Amino acid sequence: MPHPRNRHLTAVVLGVDPAELWPDPYRHRGKAWFRPWEEIEREAVALRSYEPLVVPGLLQTEGYARAMLHVGGVNTADEVERIVLTRLERQTILTGARPPFLVMVIDEVVLRRLVADRAVMHDQLRHLIALTESHPHVQIRVIPAGVPWHTGLAGPFALARLADGHEFAYLDNQLRGEIHAAHDDIATLGRRWDSVSGEAPSIDLIKEVAQSWT
């Protein structure tokens, strides 16, 4: 089987649907267009992500993920369960033998927007706290609500760096996510990352907000 990085580069450079290059057992769960990014996550030595609206998938509890996916009737019950299972499987990279160094930046509104009920929110925030306290390779930073408009609010994005130095970016939208590998795109998002990460203090704000959901 070709090395995963080669499949990604072939898809990006040639404009081929990455899912078409993805053999079993990868064609089994979740959205087809997301599977190449899952494999990039598995190979990454470093992941950086900014999310202004929701807890990122790699950090979601089962209850939070299921509640979020049920909203609006966009997904069927079977699809919700399939995506939740995939999301939980993705998270195993954080506890594996060689986990990536992960830095997630979120906005304070993510901590305060109700998903499902107060118990789900409390469990989710306690999960974020536990991750950072028990896994030194995981950092979660929060941009306070009082910070003025910043460049990150243009939309969520993630950056991944592989052991060989190759870098990829992931952008999400209402229809599907997109993987980018062009040097200029990576550089632009890198500058935006430097900007948003500089706005974010420590995890103390998560602990403070967690108390409000009890």
Question: For residues 192 and 165, is the Cβ–Cβ distance under 8 A?
Answer: no
Residues 4-36: tens digit of each pLDDT: 445 544 454 445 444 444 333 333 345 777 889
Average pLDDT over residues 127-144: 95
Evaluate if residue 49 carries a pLDDT over 90.
Answer: yes
Q: Is this prediction's pTM over 0.85?
A: no
Comparing 214 with 112, the larger pLDDT belongs to: 112
Distance, CA of 188 to CA of 141 (rounded, Å) = 21
Long-range contacts of 31-38 (CB under 8 A, 24+ apart): 31/83, 31/176, 33/176, 33/177, 34/176, 34/177, 36/7, 36/8, 36/11, 36/179, 37/158, 37/168, 37/170, 37/177, 37/179, 38/86, 38/90
